[in-house]
Amino acid sequence: MSDIGVALIGTGFMGKAHALAYRNARAVMGDVPGVRLVTLVETPLPKAEAMAAQFGFDRATDDWRAVLADPAVQLVSITTPNGLHREMAEACLAAGKHVWCEKPMALTLDDARHMEAAARASGLVTQLGYNYTANPAFTHACRLVQGGEIGRVIQVRGWVDEDYQADPDLPWSWRAKIKDAGLGALGDIGCHLISLLTGLAGPLDSVVAEMETLHQTRPLPDGTGRAAVENEDAASALLTFASGVKGTFTASRSAWGRKSRLGFEVHGTSGMVIFDQERMNELQLYQNRGERAKAGFVTILTSPDHAPYGAFCPAPGHQLGFNDLKVIEAAGLLRAIRDRTAAPLDFTAGLAIETAIHAIARSAREGRRVTLAEM
């Protein structure tokens, strides 16, 4: 097929990650369609023009709707604040554009349902930015678990901790406002943890949860006072999966010293697998085999034996990084467009994650066990 024309809306951290991923996907993977970087959208226009030149896009605009009628654009990346996701995604789908949207999917579960319905009705390819599921270490952990290497799964424990909101004097921003951000720690980072835990143990059945706003107010950026923080800084839950497996979930955006501590333990009847995103190229594997005097955890370094690591580097232990995961994610999306198949984590899969995090929030608010079926 001919090159896929791309528009990018937003040039922050994730916008830059998408631009790099598009530029590198074919160079790294080889077997994916090429892309043409057509239009970059940002405000104000001078910034859009500067970023288009930096990222290598043909043109710039400050009006995201300009891409809707552009026949040169077949795929749109949405890397804007959460409150814009639904409007932009639905408009792009209605205009016949494939969509790669960053997480969380939407502000509310109802918004996510509408987005998923629009995606199904369009027949187009959609993908959400759950790049941690693309990590070769994670996909290898899934193979180990599903292949019975640790026996029958009996418990799953997960955590995601960062400190980007740990300072109580950090100025108030849109992230603290439900209308603009939706959920707090659950929507921003907890959804990543759910993507990993359900990838390992299957869909969730029910949750019992608590959540807390640790810093009730924050100083306004202009120094005129303080404003309320409307969403949660931390959440925890007891999980029951559809398989009957039990688990635990903890998330905090106010955990000093933690930068990207996204991880899990999967306990089985004959072993355990451990992963921590801060050491994203390692797995710890324990198997209850052989002499007890020699028993212990083995560190598995990702390598060309853990595809697609070898597409980046031929040597074990040389490490992949965050932006490499976005390249893997982009490659999966581009293949799905070429092959007319579902992307690895499309809007339907994303709706299940949204349902889970909103079930945790509902359980915390109502003080009871909530099943996902009632959401």
What residue ranges define each of the domains in the chain, with the CATH number in brackets? Answer: 4-130 (3.40.50.720), 132-320+350-370 (3.30.360.10)
Give the tokens for residue 204.
Answer: 């969730």
DSSP, collapsed to helix, strand or coil, labels residue 261 as: strand
pTM summary value: 0.96
pLDDT at 1: 66
pLDDT at 344: 87
What are the residue ranges in the chain where pLDDT is below 50? Answer: none
User: What are the tens digits of pLDDT across the range 46-73?
Assistant: 999 999 999 999 999 999 999 999 999 9
Residue 345 φ then ψ, to 5°: -140, 85
pLDDT at 197: 98
H-run or E-run covering 126: strand 126-128
Count Cβ neighbours within 10 Å for each residue of 85-114 and write b for 16 or more, e otherwise: bbbbbbbbbebebbbbbbbbbbbebebbbe
DSSP, collapsed to helix, strand or coil, labels residue 182 as: coil
DSSP, collapsed to helix, strand or coil, labels residue 260 as: coil
Distances (CA, A) of 374 to 105, 205, 207, 358: 20, 10, 12, 11
CB-based contact 361:209 (threshold 8 Å): yes
Q: How far is it, in rounded angstroms, from Cα 126 to Cα 32?
A: 17
Give the tokens for residue 95.
Answer: 């205009």
pLDDT at 2: 86
For residue 26, the one-letter residue type is R
Distances (CA, A) of 21 to 68, 150, 177, 277: 22, 34, 30, 20
Please report which residue ranges of 282-321 form alpha helices under DSSP H.
309-312
- Taking Cα atoms as reference points, which of 157, 323, 155, 161 lies closest to residue 257? 161
Cross-strand pairs, 239: 207, 247
Give the tokens for residue 22.
Answer: 């598009």
pLDDT at 87: 98
Which contacts (CB < 8 Å, 24+ apart) does range 335-343 have? Answer: 335/31, 335/32, 335/33, 336/125, 336/127, 337/4, 337/33, 337/74, 337/75, 337/98, 337/125, 338/1, 338/32, 338/33, 340/125, 341/125, 342/125, 343/125, 343/126, 343/127
DSSP, collapsed to helix, strand or coil, labels residue 39 as: strand
